[in-house]
Amino acid sequence: MRIDVLTIFPDLFTGFLSTSIPAIAIEQGRISCHTHDIRAYAANKHRKVDDRPFGGGPGMVMMCQPIFDAVKAAESQDSELPAVRVLLTPQGERLTQPRVEWLAQQPRLTLLCGHYEGIDERVIEELKPLEISIGDYVLSGGELGAMVLIDAVARLQPGVLGHEESAAEDSFSVRSTDGAHLLDCPHYTRPREWNGREVPDILLSGDHAAVDRWRDEQRITRTRERRPDLLQDSPLANPQPLPAANTNKPAAQVARAKRSNASHSSDGGLHGQAAPEGA
Ligand code: ADE
C-alpha cells in the first residue's frame, strides 16, 4: 500500500514513521509513506496557504490552489495506483474498525490534513475525499488523525504484527456469534502473583478450550459493562444466557468464519457502509 500525506507540518511525521508498527510495516515493504508539504505548492511568493474567510468570522481558511496542486502532484507519482482520498476533519464519518479494515485493503491512500478554521469547500467538492473524523473533539489539525489512520492500517497489513492472529482478536475485531463487535478480554503475564494480585486460575490450567470459553465470557461481560452501545441490537445485551459460553467455538473463531462469509457478500462485510466514490 502506498500512502501520501499532504500537510503543512511534514516534520511531525518523521518520528512517527520511524517508530514501532509503522516503521516495521515500511521496513517490510508492506506500506510506503510519502509526506508532501502543501506550502511548497503555494503559487504565491510568500508561500501563503490560507486566507481570511469570506463573510467574516474568526480564523483562517486553507486555500484551494495549494491543496489541489499538492494532491495532483502527489498522485501523479505511481499514477497507475488508484488512490482513495481521505480528508481528516471533525465533520467526517467517525473512524471505526470496519472502515479501517476497508481502508487497509486499498492499494493507495491520499491523506489530506486540514488546518485553521477549515478548508475552502470548493476544493473538497472538487477532490471528493472520504471525510474521516477520529472522534468527537476538535484537534488543531488533521495530522494526528492521519497518524491514527496510518497506524491502524499498517498493523493490519499481512505479517506486520508477527503473530497472524493478534489483529483478529483485538477489541472491535472480535465478534460474538451474532456479529456484535466486542471489546478485548483482559491479559496477564509473569509473575503469577503481583502486589497480592493473582492471575486467574483458568489461565494456568492448560485447558485451552476452557481458556477460550473464559476469554469469550470476559469479552462479552466487558462489552456489556463498558460499551453497551456495541450490543444494542444483540441478545448479548441481556445478562443471560451467554451464547458463546454454551459452545466450544471461541468468539475469535466465530469472527473468522463470519469474516470469510462476509467476504462473499456484496459490501465486503462493511455493514452497509458505502465505499467512497472513485474507489
Ligand atoms: N482535525 C481536527 N479535528 C479532527 C478530528 N476530530 N478528527 C480528524 N481530523 C481532525
Q: Name the residue with cell 478548508.
A: 119
Same domain, 130 and 38: yes
Examine the residue annotation and report whether 243 is marked as an active-site residue of this protein. Answer: no
Same domain, 74 and 124: yes
Same domain, 188 and 232: yes
Same domain, 139 and 15: yes
Same domain, 145 and 191: no
Q: What is the CATH number of the domain that holds 217?
A: 1.10.1270.20
Give ligand 1 pocket residues (Cβ under 6 A): 88-90, 133-135, 137-139, 141-142, 145
Examine the residue annotation and report whether 90 is marked as an active-site residue of this protein. Answer: yes
Q: How many CB atoms lie within 10 A of CB 221?
A: 16
Assess whether pLDDT exceeds 50 at residue 40: yes
Report the number of distinct structural domains present in the chain. 2
Q: How far apart are CA 22 and CA 178, in angstroms?
A: 33
SS3 235: helix
Same domain, 235 and 130: no
Same domain, 24 and 139: yes
Q: How far is the CA of 18 from the centre of ligand 1 (A)?
A: 23
Examine the residue annotation and report whether 11 is marked as an active-site residue of this protein. Answer: no
Domain contains 209: yes
C-alpha cell at 22: 509503522
CA angle 155, 156, 161 (to 5 degrees): 50
Strand partners, 217: none
Assess whether pLDDT exceeds 60 at residue 122: yes
Examine the residue annotation and report whether 117 is marked as an active-site residue of this protein. Answer: yes
Q: What is the pTM of this model?
A: 0.84
Q: How far apart are CA 216 and CA 250, in angstroms?
A: 6
Range of the domain at 228: 171-272
Q: Which of 120, 32, 82 is nearest to 276 (CA)?
A: 82
Are residues 149 and 132 in contact, defined by beta-carbon separation less than 8 angstroms? yes
Beta-strand ranges (E) seen in the chain are 2-7, 32-37, 50-51, 61-62, 84-94, 108-113, 118-119, 130-133, 193-194, 197-198
Choosing from 144, 148, 149, 150 the residue with most ligand 1 atoms within 8 A of its CB, the one to mutate for a pocket test is: 144
- pLDDT tier at 32 (50, 70, 90 boundaries)? very high
Residue 39 pLDDT: 98
- pLDDT tier at 64 (50, 70, 90 boundaries)? very high
- pLDDT tier at 268 (50, 70, 90 boundaries)? very low
Q: Name the residue with cell 462493511.
A: 270
Same domain, 75 and 37: yes
Please compute Rg for the chain using Cα positions.
Answer: 22
Same domain, 13 and 149: yes
| 103 or 168, greater pLDDT | 103
Domain contains 161: no
SS3 164: coil
Same domain, 110 and 233: no
